[in-house]
Amino acid sequence: MKREKKSDPERQLKIIQPVVTANKNSKKIILPGSTIGVFGSGQLGRMMALSGRAMGYRIHTFSPESHSPTGQIAEREVVATYADLDAVRDFVRAVDVVTFEFENVAAHVAQIAEEEGIPVRPGGGVLHITQQRLREKEFFRANGLPVTPFVAIHSLAELQSSLETIGYPAILKTAAFGYDGKGQVRITSPEQAASAWQSLSGQEAILESYVNYEMEISVVAARGIDGSIAHYGTIQNEHRQHILDLSISPAPIESTITTQATELACSVLEKLNVVGVLCVEMFLTTAGKLLINELAPRPHNSGHLTIDACVTSQFEQQVRAVCGLPLGSTRQLRPAAMAQLLGDLWQKGEPNWQAALTDPAVKLHLYGKQEARNGRKMGHLTVIADSTEEAVHRVLAARDALSTPF
Ligand code: ADP
Ligand code: MG
């Protein structure tokens, strides 16, 4: 496959159309010095909090965890369940704008903020669609956006008959609350149907055909309160055990495909009326076609490299969009690669940080998580270099060096 010669240098901010909504809060600008309330307290909230604080905002975070990655950076960490409506109400009353660092927060949280007159960005409607795979895929289908073939499944009988039409291999996924491949089973023969259905405990599910892809890519983009959109081009993603392992930007694909992918992403942001950052995960099939896999209505793992590689990181962009400020330039300074650091690296004790940082181009990001469980995202490394090949080579060498003895 031909390497794209140059990434779209400016990724021009396009004025598409004004956001049309009756809500008086829709145009409210939240100035530096104000407080951003973040539901969720993981690494995405942490990196957003770091950007927000750099710009003079105060950050409050709400989640069931204490001493969380976001809480360590925020001025205030509220520890309560999302079902604790009084705690949710008290939290939103103390902030100027509400946002989310993960979409599995129940939509009632957004509703409470709306009732309290606090702007919620992105809005509850976006959460409602994106927190459930079935609704999300139906949204793609209804809007003529290319999507992986899928069927809704509510019973074993439905699964068995749908497997005949979808074919093998297929993937059965729970409709709600899946991430990092959790709640997913691959089915390669009719005999596996019953155990696959049981393993999801009979929850509403979605059956997808297994896509033969050439590459997985993502487009991270942001939309402001004025309807302007800025995107970061295409990023190539490699997963290991369903968890993002390596991201490369720009993705080594034809510029026509990058154009198609970014146009698809912009269209998703507009059709969902998003204010904030959103990531569109796609498959580039072996036949050269783009299929949307899923959305994340927030900064995304594949966009972490924008911290070191772009004029404005996805996290600063989220702060700007959510606060109603003009979006920043997404221009990429140099080709970049990001390697994820999972808890597995701690199995034999503390990783060898000095060895990884011997290459002065290596940038280390750790999320402040106390316990290094296998498969848990603990941090990432980024390298920017003269070519994506060099960035990949150096970031992987640095990650390997983490496992060398002191
Ligand atoms: P999540 O990220 O929410 O766990 P995804 O649907 O993105 O769920 O699945 C995780 C990964 O599993 C994808 O990035 C891809 O590597 C693989 N995968 C998921 N669905 C399919 C599919 N229909 N065909 C091929 N691979 C898939
Ligand atoms: Mg995914």
DSSP code per residue over 245-272: EEEEES-SS-HHHHHHHHHHHHHHHHHT
Residue closest via CA to ligand 1's atom 21 equals 210
Residue closest via CA to ligand 1's atom 13 equals 242
pLDDT greater than 50 at residue 7: no
Domain 213-401 has CATH 3.40.50.10860: no
CA of 288 to the centre of ligand 1 (A): 18
Distance, CA of 318 to CA of 380 (rounded, Å)? 20
Which ligand 1 atom is the nearest neighbour of the CA of 181?
A: 4
pLDDT in tens, 123-132: 989 999 998 9
**Ligand 1: which of 293, 301, 302 to mutate, most ligand atoms within 8 Å of CB?**
293
What pLDDT sits at residue 78?
98
Q: Let me know if the fold of 149-209 is the same as that of 213-401.
A: no
Ligand 1-lining residues (CB < 6 angstroms)? 148, 171, 178-181, 208, 210-211, 216, 239, 242, 281, 293-294
Neighbours of 198 (CB within 10 A): 11
Neighbours of 212 (CB within 10 A): 10
Three-state helix/strand/coil letters over 240-252: ECCEEEEEEECCC
The arithmetic mean of pLDDT across residues 339-365, rounded, is: 97
The arithmetic mean of pLDDT across residues 234-258, rounded, is: 97
Q: Which of 365, 302, 312 is nearest to 336 (CA)?
A: 302
The arithmetic mean of pLDDT across residues 151-156, rounded, is: 95
What pLDDT sits at residue 17?
43
pLDDT in tens, 77-122: 999 999 999 999 999 999 999 999 987 787 889 999 999 999 999 9
pLDDT: which is higher, 161 or 203? 161
pLDDT greater than 50 at residue 287: yes
pLDDT in tens, 297-323: 999 999 999 999 999 999 999 999 999
As its CATH architecture, domain 35-130 has 3-Layer(aba) Sandwich (3.40)
Ligand nearest to the CA of 243: 1
Q: Tell me if 317 sits within 8 A of 327, measured CB to CB.
A: yes
Q: What percent of the chain has pLDDT over 70?
A: 94
pLDDT in tens, 33-80: 999 999 999 999 999 999 999 999 999 999 999 999 999 999 999 999
What pLDDT sits at residue 23?
63
pLDDT greater than 70 at residue 20: no
Which ligand 1 atom is the nearest neighbour of the CA of 213?
A: 25
Distance of CA 131 to the CA centre of its chain: 12
pLDDT greater than 60 at residue 8: no
pLDDT greater than 90 at residue 200: no
pLDDT greater than 80 at residue 13: no
Domain boundaries, the chain: 35-130, 149-209, 213-401
What pLDDT sits at residue 358?
98
Distance, CA of 91 to CA of 104 (rounded, Å)? 18
Residue closest via CA to ligand 1's atom 9 equals 181
User: Mean pLDDT for the chain?
Assistant: 93
What pLDDT sits at residue 216?
98
Q: How would residue 18 be classed by pLDDT, with cut points 50, 70 and 90?
A: very low
Which tokens belong to 79? 């520890």
**Topology, domain 149-209:** Dna Ligase; domain 1 (3.30.1490)
The SS3 call for residue 68 is: coil
Position 113, amino acid: A
What pLDDT sits at residue 11?
62
The SS3 call for residue 341 is: strand
What pLDDT sits at residue 10?
52
**Ligand 1: which of 150, 184, 237, 292 to mutate, most ligand atoms within 8 Å of CB?**
184
Q: Tell me if 233 sits within 8 A of 250, measured CB to CB.
A: yes
Which ligand 1 atom is the nearest neighbour of the CA of 173?
A: 6
Helices (H) and strands (E) in the chain, counts: 12, 17
Ligand nearest to the CA of 211: 1
